């Protein structure tokens, strides 16, 4: 069987969070579900798409969405279909890294509590909003019972992505750390077990630390260009094909990320202002569905799909035993 694995993840950012980030017009920020189109229309579209490929994905959910019955029903559908529900903080604050410790912890814990209550099991994965990660947040995540974090976007182009977001939003916001910053651009491209003292480096020896994995959002080797679905939809199939070619040549495990709006026709719900926003958000649903299926098909030619928590558990290795020599199955699996 093909040893290469593609972990497929969906950030279920509700439309209010997308508006907050990109300044799209429509209902005011904070006007979340019951009629949020991400929960109403995008989730069923994702379930249908993934079912067609027989793949099990990970859905990152914002805790405060669970107050709405519609969202709770959808979460049940997601779980019944065999997908994973993961923690995407309580309220998707793009200024998360600037928050004081207690508020930052509450953002993780409240979502964890809500999702555990609704899903009947505790989420095992975490992703910060906007891929924003720093040592303080990482420590908070590592102290908790997660199997993996998937917040690191190891691109050197974070500044460009922040600029695009600013241009679309037509306003400046506190985007500190969004899309990664500085040293995050140098983090490993493959999943790694982070050094507790520096989350951007893999541990160098067998360790009895908690078996937390960092599963970075995949970028291309070399240029470290973004490789997630939204970018690929905006830049077209040639960009995607070239990126996949270089990714598949070097990375045995990839983390390919969709966002809720990737399977949503946003033209009615959140009209985009300007040509750039139009290119990113103005595509029809049939076109988006076709592009998403094209991407998964192309990925499937190189990789077998696996749920991120299953992957993390499978690669956990045997329990640490100080009387034994370090097992080769544990530690870094940079292959």
- Binding stretches for Zn ion (CB under 5 A): 11, 13, 129
CB nearer to Zn ion: pick between 50 and 60 = 60
Angle at 53 between CA 49 and CA 56, to 5 degrees: 85
Could you tell me the smallest distance in angstroms from the CB atom of residue 286 to Zn ion?
25
Could you tell me the smallest distance in angstroms from the CB atom of residue 322 to Zn ion?
40
Q: Distance (Å, rounded) from C-alpha 286 to C-alpha 264?
A: 9
And the tokens for 252? 């045995």
Helix/strand/coil for 125 = strand
Q: Are 192 and 214 in contact (CB under 8 A)?
A: yes
CB nearer to Zn ion: pick between 30 and 120 = 30
And the tokens for 183? 């040293």
Find where tokens 């907050």 sit: 20
Per DSSP, what are the bridge partners of residue 290?
none
Could you tell me the smallest distance in angstroms from the CB atom of residue 12 to Zn ion?
8
CB nearer to Zn ion: pick between 6 and 10 = 10
At residue 173, what are phi and psi to the nearest 5 degrees? -135, 165
Helix/strand/coil for 304 = strand
Could you tell me the smallest distance in angstroms from the CB atom of residue 261 to Zn ion?
10
Could you tell me the smallest distance in angstroms from the CB atom of residue 11 to Zn ion?
4
Per DSSP, what are the bridge partners of residue 213?
148
CB nearer to Zn ion: pick between 11 and 291 = 11
CB nearer to Zn ion: pick between 206 and 269 = 269
CB nearer to Zn ion: pick between 16 and 311 = 16
Could you tell me the smallest distance in angstroms from the CB atom of residue 301 to Zn ion?
28
Angle at 315 between CA 57 and CA 124, to 5 degrees: 50
């Amino acid at each position: 069987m093909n040893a290469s694995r593609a972990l497929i993840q969906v950030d279920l950012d509700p439309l209010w969070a997308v508006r907050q980030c990109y300044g799209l017009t429509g209902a005011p920020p904070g006007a979340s579900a019951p009629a949020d189109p991400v929960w109403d229309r995008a989730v069923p579209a994702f379930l249908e798409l993934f079912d067609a490929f027989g793949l099990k994905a990970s859905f990152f959910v914002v805790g405060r969405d669970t107050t709405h019955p519609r969202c709770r029903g959808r979460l049940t559908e997601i779980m019944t279909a065999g997908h994973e529900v993961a923690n995407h903080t309580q309220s998707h604050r793009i200024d998360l890294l600037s928050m004081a410790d207690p508020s930052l912890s509450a953002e993780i814990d409240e979502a964890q509590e809500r999702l555990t209550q609704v899903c009947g099991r505790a989420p095992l994965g975490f992703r910060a909003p906007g891929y924003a990660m720093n040592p303080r947040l990482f420590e908070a995540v590592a102290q908790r019972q997660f199997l993996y974090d998937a917040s690191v976007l190891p691109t050197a182009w974070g500044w460009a992505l922040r600029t695009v977001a600013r241009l679309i939003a037509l306003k400046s916001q506190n985007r500190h750390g969004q899309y990664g910053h500085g040293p995050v651009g140098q983090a490993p491209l493959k999943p790694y077990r982070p050094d507790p003292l520096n989350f951007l480096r893999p541990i160098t020896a067998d360790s009895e630390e908690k078996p937390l994995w960092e599963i970075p959002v995949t970028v291309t080797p070399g240029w470290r260009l973004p490789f997630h679905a939204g970018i690929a939809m905006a830049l077209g199939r040639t960009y995607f094909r070239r990126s996949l070619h270089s990714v598949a040549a070097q990375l045995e495990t990839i983390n390919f990320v969709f966002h809720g709006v990737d399977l949503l026709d946003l033209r009615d719900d959140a009209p985009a202002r300007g040509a750039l926003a139009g290119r990113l958000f103005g595509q029809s649903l049939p076109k988006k569905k076709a592009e998403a299926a094209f991407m998964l098909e192309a990925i499937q030619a190189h990789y077998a799909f696996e749920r991120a928590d299953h992957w993390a558990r499978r690669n956990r290795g045997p329990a640490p035993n100080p009387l034994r020599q370090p097992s080769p199955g544990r530690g870094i699996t940079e292959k």
